Structure formats: C-alpha cells, structure tokens
Amino acid sequence: MALLDFLKKIEPDKKESPFLHTLFDGFFTFAYTPNHTTKGGVHIRDGMDLKRTMVHVVLAMQLCLVFGMINIGHQHYQALGLYPSFLSGLHLKLVYGLIQLLPIIIWTHLVGLGIEFWYAAKKGHAIEEGFLVSGMLIPLIMPPDIPIWILCIAVAFAVIIGKEAFGGTGMNILNVALLARVFVFFAYPTEIAGDTMNIGKEVWVSGFHYDPALLAEGIKTQVSEYGWAHGLFDWIFGAFGWSTFGEGGVAMVDGFTGATPLGLAAKGGWEAVTAVYTPTQMWWGGIPGSIGETCKPFIIVGALFLIATGIASWRIMVSMLLGAVVMCLILNAWGATPFMEVPWQYQFYMGSFFFAMAFMATDPVTASSTNTGKWIYGFLIGFVGMIVRVLNPAYPEGWMLAILFMNVFAPLIDYYVLEANVNRRLSRKKSIVAVETSPEEVTAH
C-alpha cells in the first residue's frame, strides 16, 4: 500500500498539466486496477477488461518474439557461414538478435505510445490499450534490418492517419500494424521488398555493409559490422571463455543471397525453393523473413492459445485457412506458372500465412463484427491473399494487402448480414399479422 500512497501523492494535476496527468494515469492504471464501482445498470462486472484482453494477445506473441530474435542472429551467421546449426552459438545469435530488435521495439513504442498519449491528453480521456498489441505486432512484421527512421515514420503514419484520425482505439477501419507495414512497403520499396536483385542493402539479413575499400575498387562485397553493444557483450562472453562476435569485417559467404522462400518460388517454383531450403527448415523457421513470422509451430501455439482463451475468433482463422486452401487448389489445377504448381500444402510452409491468420486477420476492430460475417471475411482473406501471393509479379506475399483490402470490405459484409437479420424480422411479421386479423379470433371474446 505504500506504493499506492506514493503514487497518489505524485499524481499531477489534471488541469495544470493534462499531458503529464494522462501519462501518469496510463501508468497508474497499469499498476493498479482503479477503485471504480458500478453505477446504475449491472452491479457486478466480469473480471475481463481491455487491458487483460490486449496483454493476452501480446503474451501469445512472445514465443514468436524470442524465436525471431534468435533467428536474426542465426541468419546473420548463416551469411558468414558460421554456426550452421540453429542452436550452435546460441548466445551470440540471441544477443545479436536482441541488439537488433530492441531498438525496433523501443522506437515503435516511443513513437506510437507518444502519439497516443498526446492525443489522449488533447481529448481529455484515458489512454486506451490498443497500441499494446500494435506496438508488439509492428516489430514482428518488420524486416530485421529496417532503418529506424523509416520505422518511426511508418508508425507515426499508421497511428495518426490510421487510428487517431478515425477517433482512436475501436474506431479504426484499417489494421494499424499492417498500415505501418504497407506504408514502408509503398513509400520505401527498395528498402523493404524481398527482391535480391536490388543492388541495395539486403534487409532480410542484418548486420552487413559494403566494404568501402573494396567498393572503391568496384568490388561489391558485404562485410559484417558490429557496434559498441556487441563489444560490451564480447567482454562478458570473453570472461566466460565463450566465443565472441569479434571485430567484424568478415566477408559474406560467396553466393549467399538471403532470399526468402517466396522470392525463390516466384522465380522458379517449388524446385527453386527446395534447392535452398528444406521443408522442415521452412516449417521451423530458420529462414530469412520478417522478424516474427518464420516459425510456424510457435505461431500455431499462439493461435491455439488465443482460441482457447476466446480472445481471437476461431471462425476467422478456420475460414481463412479454408479460403487459402481452396485458392491453392484452384491455382494448382490452373498451373500456368511454376509458382502456381507449388503443391498446395507447401504454400503454407512459405511466407507469413499463419502469422497473418493468428494475429492480423483476427483484430476484432477491423474484422467483420458479426459471426456470419467473420466466416465470409476470413474466407475472402485466404482466397484473395493467395491470389496476390501467386499471381502478383511484383511482390510475392499477399496477406498484408488481402487483409487491408478485406478490412475495407468488412463493414459491407456486416451490412448485408444485418440486412438479413432485419429481413428475417420483417418476414416474421407478415405471418403473425395474418393470424391476428382472422375475424373469428378477434370476436371470440
């Protein structure tokens, strides 16, 4: 209780400094559930609130986050040709991933939460929890080597235009996290597209730059680079006698492309993919890709957790899977390009289908809000997403665009579901009126 007294003592005045008060309120309600009691209406309330809902979604993502962190390091060392097994050099991979990921998470929250707090103070209401989930989703769907300034602009765009412009949490039409991703995709295509033909910085594998000495001679060789944080950890690792990062400057293995499976599949079908990656490797996720979307089993664990707790809609997940399978089968039957001929089950080994299904499509605010609508909404995402993935020559992944597309159509789906409800009610009326106006019934008494 001493903490409570202390917190109450330092509470800033709401009128004098609204921003500080909102900030305080945001953190205070995090530490303590407020002492509000019910007034009018029901006298007892369910133990569930929005904070608990949101934090459970974040919990469901934690496995993906930890895996993604190690995978950043793993991909880095793959490029160097070191520690080929996923678990070898684990401490280096983990720390490398942490140093890469932490700034992304921190900057996402600084920018996103900062804007949220500012708007909350301006509107004079409490901070809402929506960004808890968005703030964790955004790092997970970014490439590991995303420049921080691009990230910050994208987050600011997503929060201001995507959410606050519509009225804040619960009012947005488009998924905030995906909006940040789509902003990066369209505003900085060369920085983010997983196309290895770009003579630019390869974002799917982090920690490399062109050796300036060799570049002057016209040789494009990427060499590893480490910063002060790596040096700090080297000092600790050295004390234990473990292997260290070293000074950097090691050249990338010849012929290492860091291409994502989808990038390969778009060019040469399933043969091109399996030439580089085995299906097991893709399933378990030791491959280049966005930070949190590569490990399918962990995503499925998260999805099952969300279904078991009833937080995410199983209807959307199931129907999205159905929609994707149906489209895969259609494409298989068509089979005009090597990509179309990828066996339907292997489409799910590649790309971020499961991540989109578990965490993106199920966002309750932007998804369809009726249960019937959720079936249609999910199915169409799966269906359209697979079309974008396979038939679009520019960008071999479809879920981002398919979900945003269906976000826009979700209100329309709901409209027709509700119209059906209204019509059921109207058609019911006719039959009863006919009974009521039958003459002998009325005159009976």
Partner 1 sequence: MDKRVSKFLIFSLFLFASQTAFAQASIGGSSYLLYTLIGVAVLLVLGLVIFVADNLLRVEAKQMGLDKDGANFSIFPSMDEIRRPAANSSVGNAKITNLKKGFDILLEGEAEKKFDRTRARTFAVQPKNFIGISPIPKVTVAVGDEVKAGEVIMFDKKMPEVKYVAPVSGEVIAVNRGAKRAITEVVILADNEQKYAAMPEFDLDNASRTDLVNYLLESGAWTHLRQRPYDTIPAANAIPKAIFISTFDTAPLAPCRSFAIQGKEAAFQKGLDVLNKLTPGKVHLGLNAKQGATVSDAFANAEGVEINWFHGKHPVGNVGVQIHHTDPICAGETVWTLGVQDVATIGAIFSERRYDASRVVAITGAEFENPSYVNTYLGANIGELVKGQLKDEKARIISGDVLSGQQKTVENFLNFTDDQITSVTEGDYYEMFGWLLPLTPRPTISGTYPNFLFPDMKFKADTNTHGEKRAFVVTGQYESVLPMDIYPQHLMKAILVNDFERMEGLGIYELSEEDLALCEFVCTSKQPLQKILRQGLETMRDQG
Contacts to partner 1 by CB under 8 A: 3-4, 29-38, 40-53, 55-56, 126, 128-130, 167-171, 308-311, 313, 364-365, 367, 369-371, 374, 414, 418, 421-422, 424-426, 428-429, 432-433, 436, 441-442, 444-445
Select 40 or 241, whichever has its Cβ closest to partner 1: 40
CB of 383 to partner 1, least distance (A): 22
Note the residue count of the chain.
445
- Adjacent-strand bridge partners of 226: none
- CA 266 distance to own-chain centroid: 23
Contact 10, 20 (CB under 8 A): no
Select 85 or 437, whichever has its Cβ closest to partner 1: 437
**DSSP state, residue 165:** G
Select 3 or 216, whichever has its Cβ closest to partner 1: 3
- Whose structure tokens read 């009976």? 444
CB of 68 to partner 1, least distance (A): 24
CB of 380 to partner 1, least distance (A): 17
CB of 168 to partner 1, least distance (A): 7
Select 170 or 297, whichever has its Cβ closest to partner 1: 170
Contact 372, 237 (CB under 8 A): no
First vs last C-alpha separation in the chain? 71
- The sign of the CA dihedral 395, 400, 401, 402 is positive
Across 217-333, the runs of DSSP E, i.e. the strands, are 222-224
Select 174 or 295, whichever has its Cβ closest to partner 1: 174
Q: How many CB atoms lie within 10 A of CB 38?
A: 9
Select 30 or 334, whichever has its Cβ closest to partner 1: 30
CB of 160 to partner 1, least distance (A): 18
CB of 298 to partner 1, least distance (A): 20
The whole-angstrom separation of Cα 357 and Cα 200 is 31
Select 257 or 369, whichever has its Cβ closest to partner 1: 369
Query: Three-state SS for 441?
Result: helix
Contact 129, 311 (CB under 8 A): no
CB of 384 to partner 1, least distance (A): 21
